[in-house]
Amino acid sequence: MIDRRQFVQRTCLGGLALYLDHWATSPAYGQDLIPPAPPIHVNEPAVSERSPLGMPGLFPGRVVEIQNSQAILNNRVSESVIRQMLERALRELTGTEDAREAWSKFVEPKDVVGIKINPSGAPACCSSPEIVSEIVAGVHSVGVPLENIRVYDRYAYEIDIGSYQALVPLGVRVVGVEDRRLGVSGYDPDIYCEANFFGEWETRSYMASIVSSGLTKIINVPTMKDHSAAGVTGCLKNLGYGTFNNVDRSHRRPFSFTDPLIGVMCSVEPLRSKAVLHVMDGMRMLWHGGPLSQNAKFIFPAGILMVGTDPVAMDTIELEKIEAKRLEERAPSVWSRDPKSLTENGGEFYEDATKNLYYRQPHHIAAAGARGLGISDVKRIDHRVLGAG
Partner 1 sequence: MTDGDWPMLLFDNARSGGQPPRPWRAPQKSLWQTRVAGWVRSAPVLQAGLLYVASQGGHLTALDARTGMERWRFKSAAPIQSTPSLSAGHVLVTSNDGTLYAIDSTSGAKRWQLTTGAETWASPIVANGTVFFGGADGRMHAVNFASGAERWKRELGGKVCSTACVAGQRLFVGTGDANVFCMDVTSGEILWKTPTVKGIDSSPAVANETLFLGSLDFFLYAMDTTSGAVRWKYEAELGISSSPAVSGNLVVFGCKAGMLRALNAQTGKLVWAQPLGQAITAPPVISGSTVWIQSGITHALNLADGKVLWWARLGSSLQSAPAIADSAVYLTSMEGDVYALA
CB 214 to partner 1: min, Å: 15
Q: Which is nearer to partner 1, 151 or 277 (CB)?
A: 151
R_g (Cα) of the chain, nearest Å: 19
Report how far residue 19's alpha carbon sits from residue 264's, in angstroms, rounded to the nearest whole number.
Answer: 17
Minimum distance, C-beta of residue 185 to partner 1, in the bound complex (Å): 9
Q: Residue 189: is it exposed, middle or buried by C-beta count within 10 angstroms (0-12/13-18/19+)? A: exposed
Nearer to partner 1, 85 or 156 (CB): 156
Residues in the chain, overall count: 389
Nearer to partner 1, 160 or 352 (CB): 160
Report which of 99, 107, 176 is spatially closest to residue 134, judged by C-alpha positions: 99
- Minimum CB–partner distance for residue 161 and partner 1 (Å): 6
- Geometric angle at alpha carbon 76, from 73 and 82, rounded to 5°: 85
Nearest residue (CB) to partner 1, 38 versus 301: 301
Strand, coil or helix: what is 2? strand
Q: Are 128 and 216 in contact (CB under 8 A)?
A: no
Please identify, using beta-carbon distances, which residue of 107 and 174 lies nearer to partner 1.
Answer: 174
- Nearest approach in angstroms of CB 291 to partner 1 is 15
Cβ 92 to partner 1, closest distance in Å?
A: 29
Inter-axis angle of helices 5-17 and 258-266, to 10 degrees? 130
199-229 burial: b if 16+ Cβ within 10 Å, else e? eeeebbbbbbbbbbebbbbbbbbbbbbbbbb
Report yes or no: 374 and 56 within 8 Å, Cβ to Cβ: yes
Residue 72, classed as helix, strand or coil, is strand
- First-last CA distance in the chain: 50
Residue nearer to partner 1 on the CB measure, 173 or 383: 173
Minimum Å gap between C-beta 183 and partner 1 is: 8
* CA–CA separation, 135 and 164 (whole Å): 13
Query: What residue ranges bind partner 1 (CB under 8 A)?
Result: 75-76, 122-124, 129, 156-157, 160-161, 163, 165-168, 170, 173, 179-181, 294
Helix segments in 120-234, DSSP class H: 129-141, 156-162, 164-167, 209
In sequence order, which residues have a C-beta less than 8 Å from that of residue 87 and are 6 or more positions away? 99, 102, 138
CB of 58 to partner 1, least distance (A): 33
C-beta closer to partner 1: residue 267 or 293: 293
What are the φ/ψ torsions at residue 287 (nearest 5 degrees)?
A: -95, -5
Which residue, 43 or 133, has its beta carbon nearer to partner 1? 133
Identify any residues that bridge with 62 across adjacent strands, giving them in sequence order: 382
From the CB of 353, what's the least distance to partner 1, in Å? 20
State in angstroms the smallest separation of the CB of 181 from partner 1.
6
User: What single letter denotes the amino acid at residue 252?
Assistant: R
Sequence-distant (6+) residues with CB within 8 A of 49 are none
Taking the least distance from each CB to partner 1, the nearer of 123 and 339 is 123
- Least gap, CB of 133 to partner 1 (angstroms): 10
Which C-beta is closer to partner 1: that of 92 or that of 178? Answer: 178
